[in-house]
Each structure stands twice: as structure tokens, then as C-alpha cells.
Amino acid sequence: MKIYLQKEAKKYDLTQEILNKLSSFEVIEYDKYSDIKKDIFLNIWDNFNIIFDNYKTNLEKRKDYLFLKSWKDLISRDDKWFTSFEIYRKLWYAIYNLKIWQNCLLWCDYCYLLSTNKFNPEITIYSNIKEEVNKFIKQNPWKKILFNIWEYTDSFLFDKITNLNQFFYEICIKNPNIIVESRTKLMNLDIKFPPIKNLILWFSISINNMDRFWKKEDILKKLEYIKELTYKWYIVSLKFDPIITLNWYDNDFFDVINNMKKDNIHHFSLWTLRFTRNLWKIIWNCTDSKKVNEEFILENGKYVNKYREAIYNFFIQKMWDIWVNDYYLSMDPK
């Protein structure tokens, strides 16, 4: 593995912690990103033409590179017009998205990161995240805050070498007015901290063959794992993400949820599959998934599932039937 280490990032404790936990790597230090531009694959495209071979080859290369760097804009206010986090906004929480690291090695075929990060697809860990979060909290001592630490990646993907979920647990202990949402597609997590009400473990659950973890037996195992967490008093939420069709879902899934400890399910959220024009091209030209079909229409510049209202109503009713009532829609207006 090659580690591209920004010299500015060397002063942060997290950098050394990561280097101490890794093995068999070569460190290349740099001052500016432009200094190493010629040395790495910088773009998964070839002159903006989406070419299958280049795409696959470059995504495969990324596992051999890791960037450690600092960045000043790691915390951004989420003021999107759709209803994401509506249950928190109603309680007067301000929503902030945090970059703890960026990009993902899972690469499910529908992922929006495929198109939004085409100019910086490298796996990047931000060494100054602890300092930025602590500074932000000091500047907003009484504010009700939700920290969303999963917007740019899977929030447990590099937790073994960063231990950042433990860091956010300690933030929650010290600041009861702060909620942290940590979202993952993984299971059997190495959770080192005890349960706490304001750190929510949010699990993505997608019965969708464009997802790396879509098979029914895998989903049922994940739901059983989540059920165990609820009986250990961890607070969880369930994100059905993304739904492409109702044909994949049956009562087996909802039966497991029904047997969870309901008091420890914070909420569920729903998102139907949608594509930007660019992501549509990527999925069609560069993946084995051909799910861009007659179920989708172009609406407000994006391809969206034209049956999504029926899909939402189906899931809301199914969850209400088992007394899980709090929810929001991830990508749709009210």
C-alpha cells in the first residue's frame, strides 16, 4: 500500500495512530495535491468518456492507496430542501454533515459517490477531524446538534485504525445536547463503547442486486445482528436504502424487526433508487447492473422511480403495523 501523507497532517495525533496500526506500506509525503498529480490515478474517467475497462481498473487500484491529509471544511450545515432528518429538525436540532473520511471500498453499483467524487476518488482519511469537532463544539456550547458522520462514506469502514466511533461516543457522553448518527452497511462491528442514547447506529438494509449485500440470507443475518444490539440496549435505526422494487421484500424481514426491542429502534428511513444523468451513464456503461429500466422517469433533472409513492406507503404501513412509527424520507420533499 502507498500512503500519501500531507506534511501538514503529520502534526495530528490521528495520523500517527493510523500509521502505527498499519503494516507493509510506503509513505510518500507531499505539500500540495498538485505535487503528486502525475504519480497517481487522479480521475476514474478518460477525458470525461466513461470507459468500462478504465473504470474497473481504476476502482480496483484504489485499495492500494490511502491519503492522510487535513482539510478545513470538514463540517457543513445540512440545509437540503427535502425531508432528510425531519424528525430532528422538529426537535430544533441543527444538522451537520462531517467528513471523517471520504469514499468507500464497498462500491455498490448505484452509489452516488461514483459520480460526485469523480475528480477525487481516492480513499482519504482526514487527520484533523478531532480538532475540528472539538473546536466546533466549543464555539457552539448550547446548541442542539446532530452530527451525521456517514454522508461521504461508511462510518465504520476504517474504524479499526482510527477508532473514531469511540471518539464520538466520548463526545456524546460529555455533550447530551449532541446526537451522533453513525451509519454502516457492515455487521459484526467492533463496538468498544457501551450503549448510549445519543449515539445511534444506523444500518443500511437494501434488498437490491445493485448492492454488495443484497442477498436475502445476508440481510436476515444482518437483521438478527441488529436485533441482538437492541437487546444489549444500543440505539439503532434502519435505513431501507435504496428500494428499487417491492418484489424483494416479504414478511420474513418484518418478522425479525418485529422481534427487536422496539424501544431501542430510534426511527427508520426510506429512499428509492434515483440517478443523476451522469450516474445513469455509469451504471449502464460500466457495471453489470441493468436496472435502469421502464420503472424510472426523468424528473427535475434526475431519473427517479415513478412508483416511489406506492413503495413509501408500503414500507410505512408495514413498519406501523409492528409499532415502529418514527420515520423520514431521505431524498423526497414532504
Q: What is the pLDDT of residues 140-156, one digit of tens each?
A: 988 999 999 988 889 99
Taking alpha carbons only, the member of 314, 294, 311 closest to residue 303 is 294
In 3D, which of 198, 244, 225, 241 has the Cα closest to residue 330? 241
Query: How do 178-184 and 199-205 pair as beta strands?
Result: parallel
**264 half-sphere exposure, CB direction, 13 A CA radius:** 20
Ordered domains of the chain (ranges, CATH): 2-329 (3.80.30.30)
3-state secondary structure at position 49: strand
* Per-residue confidence (pLDDT) for residue 47, from 0 to 100: 46
Whether pTM > 0.95 for this model: the answer is: no
Residue 289 pLDDT: 64
State residue 134's pLDDT score: 97
Cell of 168: 464520538
Contact 107, 212 (CB under 8 A): yes
Residues of the chain with pLDDT under 50: 47-48
With CA atoms as reference, report the closest residue to 205 among 257, 168, 275: 257
Q: What is the pLDDT of residue 50?
A: 59
